[in-house]
Amino acid sequence: MRKDFGVKPWLYPMPVFIVAAYDEAGVPNAMNAAWGGMHTDDRIGLCLSEEHKTTKNILAKRAFTVSMATRGKIEACDYVGIASGNDIEDKFSRAGFHAVRSAHVDAPLIEELPMAMECELISYDEETCYMVGRIVNVSVDESVLGENGRIDVSRLQPVVYDPCSKDYLAVGEKVAKAFSAGKSLMKA
């Protein structure tokens, strides 16, 4: 038996993105954003209200980075979601974050978060708050790379958001090999 809940934003998993941008004076700010995902192969879509300091910075600089929140930095990642850069000038540093200037876009990489997409702003719809960025580069700290030279999820330890329980969950257990697990059903 199923139970109807009506319209709810309960998509699983919801990645926890930490979106960062410089203001016009070059001061970094970051925010936690669970409302986003891949738009196309080289585009990311985010729903960011224009009242956010980070959104204002992105609109001014037309560049931003998107990092994955990680298990070891969950307090800092949550903090940048509950504190407002409009009210707290040193929000970025209070989170314990250190900015490293991206070589590809005019936006900060967060040294403490080992994976980031460096993006150029493509569009922003003020009515829907929907932002699209073109991914110019993916920057990954070598500490989270596996023997094959690619991201090892067990080293990255990304966190997802459970919108139903309002919890952060660690990603980890492998359950099957993608594009392979269903092959046994193809035999007729």
Query: What pLDDT, on the 0 to 100 scale, is given for residue 188?
Result: 60
Query: What pLDDT, on the 0 to 100 scale, is given for residue 12?
Result: 78
Query: What pLDDT, on the 0 to 100 scale, is given for residue 117?
Result: 97
Exposed / middle / buried, residue 22 (Cβ in 10 Å: 0-12, 13-18, 19+): buried
> What parts of the chain have a pLDDT lower than 50?
none
Give the pLDDT confidence of 136-157 residue by residue, as tens digits.
999 999 999 999 999 999 999 9
CATH class of the domain comprising 14-186: mainly beta
Q: What is the mean pLDDT of the chain?
A: 93
CA dihedral 15, 16, 18, 19 (to 10 degrees): 50
